Structure formats: C-alpha cells, structure tokens
Structure 1
Amino acid sequence: MTAPTPFDANGNVLIIGGGLVGASLAIALDIAGCRVTLVEAAAPRADAQPSYDERNLALARATVNGLDAIGVWPLVAAQATPIRHIHVSRAGEFGSARLDAARHGVDALGWTLPARELGSALLRRLNTCERLMRLAPASLTGLEKHTDGWRAQIRTEHGEQHIDAALLVGADGTESFVRKQLGIQAETYDYEQTLFVCTVTPERDHAHRAWERFSDDGPIAMLPLTERRCGLVLTVPSESAAEVAALDDAGFIALAQQRFGWQLGRLSRPGKRHPYAIRRVAASSLTAVRAVLVGNAAQTVHPIGAQGFNLGLRDALTLAELVAEAADPGSSTLLERYAARRAPDREGTMAMSHDLVRFACMQQPLLAPLRSLALLAYDRVPPLQQVLARRGMGFRGEPPRAVLERLS
C-alpha cells in the first residue's frame, strides 16, 4: 500500500472556478508573487467558458481601473465603448435621473464590452502568469480538512490529483460546489423574471448613452456598443418567457420597441437571443476556516444596474490585496479583515439592486409620484447626484487600492 503524501500547503492558494472573477483573482495573486493553482471546469478557450458568452457587460469605472492594474484592460480597450451618459426612467411616469461623465469630472462613467472579449483577454493574460498552475479542464470532487489548510481532490483528463492549499477560494458561480462542501448556507430569492439579451441596431446614434427603463413587467436596458449597435437587456415575467423565446425577430423587436420606446428611433437587426432566469443568491457567510467565497459564489444579484461582475471583481482585488500583505494567506485574521472590508460594498450593492427592482417595478399606482420624485431628486440635488454617480462608478465602502489608481 502506498503511504499517504504528507500534507504541504506551503502558502498555496487554490482557486476553484476560472470564470471572469476567478481568472482575475489568479492574475492579481500572480502579480503579488503568490503561489496559485487555478482549477477551471472548461478547457482554456474563450468559446468553452460558460461565463464568456454573448452578454454585453457594463463595466464600472472602478472595474476598468482594476482591470488596468492587472494588465487586462490594455488587451481589450479597443473593443470597449465608453458610457458618457446614463438615463434612468419609469414607463408612464414623469421622473427621470440623468448622469453625465463631464459633470463629474471624468471621461466616462464606465464602459461596455462583450463578455466574450473580456474572457479572451483574461485567457491571454493568464498565459503570461509566471507562478500560476492551471488545471483545465478539471473539477473539484472532494475536500479534506487539515490543520493548516485543505487537500482538494481534483479530477483531470489525466486522472486524479491532490492539491494542498493554505487558502481555498470558491469562485465557482451561483451553484457553487465549494460553498456547499464548506456547509455555508445560501438564501435564494426568485424574482420570477427572465432576462433576454441580444444586440440590436437603433435608427439613431446612441451617443454613448446607456438607458435603464422600468415597468410593471421588469426593467429594460440599452447599452452603447461599437458600430452604432446597442446591447439590449429585456426582462419579462417568467410565466411569459417561453412565449417570448418563441417570437420571431419581428415579434421580438416589436416587444422591445413597445417596452423601450422611441428614444433611439426604430430598432432593427436583433442578434441571437439568450434567456437567463433571475435569482438572488446570498451566502450566509463569505468565509469558513481557511476558505473564502468570491463573485457569484458569494452573491448573485439581480442584473439591474449591471453590478454582478463589478462587485465580484472588487471581491477578487480586495482579497488579492490582503493576501499579498500576509505571511499566511488562510489565517483567520486575514479572512476576518476580508469579510469586514467587503461588508459595506456587498451589503449596500445587494440591497440597492434588490430594493430598486422591487420599488421601481412594483405594480402599485400609489407609488408612482414617489418614484418620480425620487428620480427627480437624484437628477436635481447635487449631493444625491454625487452619491449616485460614485456608487454607479463602483466606489463604495473601502475599495481595493487597485481600483483607485486611475481615478481622476
């Protein structure tokens, strides 16, 4: 019988999940000089990654700062479109709120980028990492707790491997296997809504403006893209999802036009549509003994306001910042600091997205004047406008230093 291999974590960080957040964390830790193993379920190709799909991401200014700090943004900046204006309104009501980049002293409030382009840039940047070990395709099949860390059983195409780690990171998405293995509970809220995303071509130039419009049936967003296209994000009640999915292009465009209005003229040329059921999933704890959750494994938020990846990247960069300064990446002190640092941003962002969709989309006529007055206040009262702009740009709580370096 072969003797068991002695446990040897040796400061290693093991990341389970190679999506947008997991890959970003691996790069940031590699820059910090850490020993990192990244386990990716899919082969290392952009077209194989489930998170590198046809969605169009709205990247907050803080997110772009962070991607620039880890050397990813220069690889993809040419494919991005700046958001210089944001318009928020509610169908059939008089109030609206507008944000303007120049008014807040910046060149852009954020940028839009196809998720596939960001995924490709992350993969290219991962290929330049010097200390990183990548296992792909591979999957976590078991965990064994040791005094100084975790021993993970990993299934690869070449057989089973055992990886010892001083810190285990779950970056494996909403249905996180790591979260379940750690025994961390998660609270789930079903919005009973389905999201359809695609590209459309508007008759009028989008002029680098992003639109968010609410209605009884849910929000609809229009994001500026290159070549005068827009990324359409249409929310429908889940009970209507099958009917909407069965529409031909003309029927779908008619629905989008009815929901969005004519601010950009006639919409045409819809791209391939992708439906997503919308749920809010919140882990009861961000940490366990020598383990931490980041990104959608920690919290999956309503896509309203496009906060998901933005929030997850701030998770990753905060964790990398703390690990870079620590002798032991899995110490209880470090994990307590991480949870405390992330709490204001995480809780504030989750509450904002959850409360906003319920308040703005609630079918209650008596709320109409209050909604309009609230939007007008954010549009006209400078301190409220400043708070809205800074939070929209991703600066909330105590952000990681990496996202502040390019703030003007």
Structure 2
Amino acid sequence: MTPVFDVVLIGGGLVGSSLAIALNHSGLSVALVEAAAPRASDGPREDERNLALARASTTALQTLGVWSHLAASATPIERIHVSRTGEFGALRLDARQEGLDAFGAVVPARALGVALAQELEQCTRIRRYTPAELLDLRPGSDSTQISLRTPDGDTLIAARLLVGADGTASRVRALSGIGVDEIDYGQTLFVCSVYPQRPLTGLAYERFSDTGPVALLPLAERRAGLVLSVATPDAADVAALDDEAFLAYAQQRFGWRAGRLSRPGRRSAHAIRRVVAHSLVAPRCVLIGNAAQTIHPIGAQGFNLGLRDALTLAQSLIAQQRAGGDPGAAALLQAYAHARREDRDGTLAFSDGLVRLACSPAPLLKPLRSLGLLLLDGLPGLGSLVARRGMGFRGRPTAYALGVRP
C-alpha cells in the first residue's frame, strides 16, 4: 500500500530542513525527500559562502532550537555602512541607536547546514527518504502521487500537500507546470575570506560601483567575508589572478576603509541570475525558497526570504491542523500566497531595483544617489525604516520571528 503523508517536502537544503523542523511537533505526518542529506558531523571550513542572517532569521532559528548548534559560529552585525565608489554620501546604521544589540549575524553557510542537520536528527516524527530522486508527480483530487528513485529501487508515496524546496532548478516546479521569469544579470560573484588590517568588530560594508556591488562581512578571528561581483565577461580573467593580483583588484574595488586586505582564502565563483516562479502554488503543491524565487544576493536577502516562506507556511499548516482542516486545501494555499505577497514582492523589487539603481553608470544618477544616501543617513526615522526591513520585518512577522512557537 502506498504511504500517504500530510506533507511531503522535496529538498533538504537550508529552507527545506527549516520547514521540516518547524513541523516536527505539528501533529502532521511529514516526509522529507533529500537528494543527499547533510551530515551533522561535517565541520565548517575556513573559506566558504557566508550568509548574513537578518534579526528575524536569527530569532526564528532560536525559536526552532537550531541556534544552540550555531551560536559559536556566528558573528553579530552591529553596524552597517553603505556607500558608492566615487560619490559622496553614505548610510550608516548602528544597532545601538535602534535599541538593539545587533541587526543580525553572519554565519558560514556550511555551519548553518550542520546546525540544521543536528536539530533534524532529533526530529523523530519526520520520515526521511535519502538519498532519493524525484521522478514524477501525478496530482489527484485528494493527494499527489510521487515517484521516487532510491538505492533500494523505485518507490511510490503520496502527499496531501507537496512542498517544493528543491532550489533554483526545481523539478517540483517544472512537473507542476509552473513557469518562471528569468533575468541574467551578467555578473559573477566571487566569494572568499580575507584578513582586513582594521578589524571590522561587527561592522558590515556594502559598497557599490559601475561593475557591481562589493560586500565585506565580519567573521570570527578578525577575518572578513568578501563578496565581490564582476561583469561575467571579466570573470575568467579575475578567476585566473593569483592571490596578490586578486587582492589588489579587490582593494581597488572596495577601497581602504578597512585598511589593507591580506591572506585571501580559497575563492569560489557563482553566476548571478534571478529566477521567479509565476505562481507560488498549484493544486496540492506550494513552492518555497529558491524554488519560488532566486534573487540577486545584494543586501543578503535570499535565504532570509526563503526562511520566511518556510515559517509562514509552517504557521499556516499548524493552524489548519488544529482546526482539523486539509493541509492541501486550495483555500489554504491561496491564503498562503496572499500572506507572502507583500514581503515577496517588496523584497524582489528592492533587490532588483537596488542593483540597477546603485550600479548604473548613468551620470544623472550620481547626484541623486548621493542625495538619497545623505537623506537616509540624516533624516530621523528613514534609517530606522531601512533597518527594520533589512532585519526581515517587512509586513506581518511570523510568530517564530517574534520568539514564539505557534
């Protein structure tokens, strides 16, 4: 007999794992299908992709019980400095002026994956299929039939609600017939750690230029995470630079606010594109995280937005379960899509608009950008509004972001 679950999650990445953890005590029967499960014993590496977690995200991870596994790897973001090369004006934000200890924290992505894996191992109510590959879907009126390929052979399970958390190239999205809008930004992102001459001590920099944004994020042991975007036609030349030449290039792009940059770690490169699903939902199916939207990493909003997807959905499903309702009901899914609209649309518009406005070489924009930064920095209340949205509190926050389990 085919096992039928209330919820089947396809994708055990950062967002999918977060949703599974949130649903562990929900009373729903939940299956998690993972192509390759992260190993809780994996240790973070010195040089890897780093994530700037918004305050709403750090609070939510505390609420889920994940933060206790992660706190030792986290570096608080206490101040933020935003500027543009060759232009006057800067936006300076200080958490203390907002009555906070930090706006969020920087964590290695691998460390977050390990922390989620450690918490997930304690979720005994989650049925895990790993490694497993999604082969096909057959939607029905009461459930969706899901064909999986596992090491033991092909198997069939069913879901009253199917959740696609399987990334930018989502197979759930494709099999559900949901189209996408795609933009190639023509940029490649280089990521590594560096050693700044002046310790950042909780200060995060975002600096813009005609060739793209550059960020410097505070890390443990006086190191900093460098996030450097270059035009894709130049990416091969930048990748071929030796460490000394790469540092000189990064220094020219970022400037000297942190002093001389030295001791670069291993570099990785990532093409930047935006992929946005036409719909968040289909019959008995919902998309979250990068399967729903993959956005420009400017402002570090990607994972934070995906986590808010997952926890808004968890909150909706828990309320539906307590009311004895159907987790795949069309009304529930439409309500979820509506609940995500303000945050999703606002974040998509912000990330796309910011990269186009802040990195445009148009001469007429220069004085306008400088004036805008001066106003944001100088007028009471404007900086606080930017800070609140950057902390992940756009629209109605989830209970998790407020430190409460629903």
Q: Tell me, in whole angstroms, the C-alpha distance in 1 between the residues paired with 2:374 and 2:133.
A: 50
Alpha-carbon distance in 1 for matches of 2:41, 2:372: 43
Q: Is the 8 A contact 1:31 1:70 kept in 2?
A: no
- Is 2:373 aligned against 1:379? no
Corresponding residue for residue 332 of structure 2: 334
Q: How does 1:125-140 map to 2 (within 5 A)?
A: 125-140=119-134
- Tell me the secondary structure at the aligned position of residue 397 of structure 2: coil
* Matched residue SS, 2:364: helix
Alpha-carbon distance in structure 1 between the residues aligned to 2:42 and 2:150: 16
Aligned identity (percent) is: 58
Tell me which of 355, 359, 362 is aligned to 1:364: 362
1:253 and 1:270 in contact (8 A); partners too: yes
CA 93–314 in structure 1, closer or farther in 2 if over 3 Å, else same: same
Measured after TM superposition, the shift of residue 43 of structure 1 is 3.8
How many Å apart are 1:136 and its aligned residue? 1.2
CA contact (8 A) 1:42 1:48 kept: no
SS in 1 for 2:199: coil
Give the AA of the match of 2:338: A
CA–CA separation in structure 1 for the residues paired with 2:132 and 2:39: 14
Residue 329 of structure 1 aligns with an amino acid whose one-letter code is: P
Q: How much does 1:405 deviate? A: 2.2
In the alignment, structure 1 residue 261 sits paired with structure 2 residue 234 = no
Distance 1:285 1:151 in 2: 21
Tell me, yes or no, if structure 1 residue 241 matches structure 2 residue 239.
no
The TM-score with structure 1 as length reference comes to 0.95
* 1:110 aligned residue: 104
Paired residue for 2:35, among 17, 30, 41?
A: 41
* Counterpart for residue 400 of structure 1: 398
Q: Separation in 2 of the partners of 1:188 and 1:57? A: 23
Alignment partner for residue 200 of structure 1, among 172, 183, 194? 194
**Distance in 1 of aligned mates of 2:303 and 2:314:** 16
1:32 is displaced (CA, Å) by 2.1
- Tell whether the 8 Å contact from 2:11 to 2:34 is kept in structure 1 after alignment: yes
State the match for 2:175 in structure 1: 181
- Deviation of residue 284 (structure 1)? 0.5
Label 1:27 to 1:43 Cα distance change in 2 as closer, same or farther (>3 A): closer
Distance (Å, rounded) in 1 between the aligned partners of 2:283 and 2:372: 43
Unaligned runs of 5+ in 1: none
- Deviation of the 1:8 alpha carbon: 6.0
Gaps in structure 2 of 5+ consecutive residues: none
What aligned pairs does 1:292-311 form with structure 2 within 5 A after superposition?
A: 292-311=286-305
Aligned residues: 397
TM-score (norm 2): 0.96
User: Matches of residues 67-106 of structure 1 in structure 2 within 5 Å?
Assistant: 67-106=61-100
Taking a change above 3 Å as real, the CA distance of residues 293 and 349 of structure 1, as seen in their structure-2 partners, is: same
Q: Which amino acid aligns with 1:170?
A: G
Superposition RMSD on alpha carbons, in Å?
A: 1.5
Per the TM alignment, residue 385 of structure 1 is displaced from its structure 2 partner at its CA by 1.1
Kindly state the Cα deviation for residue 44 of structure 1 after the two structures are TM-superposed: 3.6
Deviations along 1:86-126, whole A, 9 cap, x unmatched? 00000000011011000101100010000010000000111
